[in-house]
Structure 1
Amino acid sequence: MRKLPLKTKAEQLARMIEEMIQAGEWTETLPGMEVLAKKYSVNPKTVQRALRLVEQNGWLLPSERRKARKINPSRRQVKAGNRKSLLMLYSGIDAKDLVVGTVLQQMSDRWMRHGTAVNMEQVDFAYHKEPSKYLRRLVERHSADAILFYNASRRWIEVGMNMLPVFCCGGGITDSMKITSMGFRFSSQIAWLIQKLNSMGHERIMFSYTDPDRGIREEVLSVDAFPGKQENLRGRRSDYCVRVAEDLPDVWSGMWEREFTRLQPTAVIVMEGHHLLSLYAFCAKRGIRIPQDLSVVSLVEFEGGNWLEPAITYAQFPYAKMLNYFEKWIRSGLKPLGYREVSMKWMETGSLGAAPRQRS
């Protein structure tokens, strides 16, 4: 079982202790403090802080001097009588995104408030084209009662919805799926952004991405204004929609070098935070000024974006609405509540400017 990192060792240990109680490993009392410290390779003070957190979360009764910590019977009864396990599936790309990691942890916490278990698995959605057997093994391994997909492909979602109740955060969702899901229409968001860049004089807009399985290329090329006027292009229209097959630093730095020489873009749209870092490093090396020589926009919120110089312009997803919808799904008894479409909020900063040829 993989867990996203929490802020402190005490918080991590508290979560582990709660999971052991949920699993029925400890039913009446906890082992002594020294036993727990040795079991989890931490010092007794960390154990003490963790136990305070577990008590605050309602899993333990108030401590009694020189007595073993007693497990709260009411929480134990909830778990024994109605065990529900959520299987969270997300991609390796999303695993690198600190914002996504924080959101998944918050969703895990929401689920855990109801006295239930969460198991997280990193999955290559693009690699497993026919995921039926693989997904079934994951469901059986974790005794899952429901599945949460984060940016999964349509095929994965279709297979999952035929097994268990499903909640989807983005990915290949459609209005007709009998699941609970929330996302935005990529085509409308990318069309708005390209029109915005066109209005600022950008006629060689480059779009870079990795994931081959979300229909991204088709949606970008369906926007008539992409990448700009044909007579100003340095190649075919489709050349400006660049997919990089391997998500490796050397591969991406080589791609920037090759495609900038060939296509000479005035604006670049990226989809992942680490690709953004790669682009900024390339521009610094080549002496390309942002935004004087090149405008840069991210389609995802990048936690380190404000540390860049200049700060990145990005699309902000309304995660609070998604968390509330997820909570509503849990309280409904995991009934399919349908698809909710949301709009992204564009946070414009110093990385967006007029095309170089418009400057005096």
Structure 2
Amino acid sequence: MTAVIEDVAVGVEEEFHVVDPRTGLLVPKAEVFLEQLPRDRYGAELQGSVVEANSLPWLRLEDLARDLSAARRRLTKVADVAGLGIVATGSVPLVDLAALEISPVPRYEQMLDEYQLLAREQLICGVQVHVDVGDRDLAAIVLHRLAPWLPVFLAMSASSPFWLGADTGYASSRTLAWQRWPTAGPPGPFGSAAEYDRLVRALVGTGVISDQGMIYFDIRPSAHLPTLELRICDACPRVDDVVLLAGLSRALVIAECRAAEAGEPLPASARTELVRAATWRAARSGLEGELVDPADGRPAPAPRVVEGLLRRLRPVLESLGDWELVAELAAGALRRGGAAARQRSAFAPRGSLTDVVTSLIAETRLEFNEPR
């Protein structure tokens, strides 16, 4: 294994819902965007109401932020001309299932045939962070070390309180929908990339999944790039929060790669059963309740857990030159409160889910607010 610290690039994939801004309903119009935007940066997803945008990999978070903002501007420009809305959030509250369509891609059509309800109700969007880890053995080994902290990232991103027209009582109903897939959830321990690859082949061999692209672990090595993919997060309405997640993700990967190379023992909170419980807690509470603190496995207020993560990662963030930016973005996120709570606040005055979608369209348009 080789050390990981310098020149670690980070990139982001964001998924966006396409909506009718008048009614707030999801509409299967992703192709409107894909016909006009470059396919190397934008792509289709399972549902025809979702479009994905891919950033380039960047060393500086400020450059990543500008890339993400530019991608949203391009989407918004197309949306405005077409009379559509673009929304970055885990779920959209207003859905007419009969009006939606699977993207016309053979792989997605096969998934609909095989998975039925799971595919029809895949009305969710996430954000994925890709962090360079050039050594695949190290990438596989570190998965289990990272897992206890992933629920904190979920809590910071949780933005899907409404599902099919109702308040679920959860901050991230997307997590509930996502975890129904047969390979979703936290990964177990691996001793090498070869061991990880054997498991992937075994899962494909069961016939339950069709290919390695259906490995939906909360974090996984990329199948085709030298990166780790953090996949647990809801899509975030504010691009500031995406940049925050990217900065923390890179620092956490670096910190845990160092710990693995130093032979530091795994924390007790790395047990897969405990991580699953902590993930449920984060999906339920978001930033507004308690989380399971990975440091001791006990409940603690969400802001305290986030602040503990910042303290843990400060040495790495400072070595990358990211500390001031990440600390300011984290303070802003805690001050505003979670996206799920903001959506409930938008709903409260008139009891209107259309108002929720209107507020999400507006937040998705906001540019990166670089702290001064």
The answer, yes or no, to whether TM exceeds 0.5 is no
Q: Which has the higher contact order (CA 8 A, sep 6+)?
A: 2
TM-score by structure 2 length?
Answer: 0.26
TM-score by structure 1 length?
Answer: 0.27
Q: Quick check: which has more Rg, 1 or 2?
A: 1
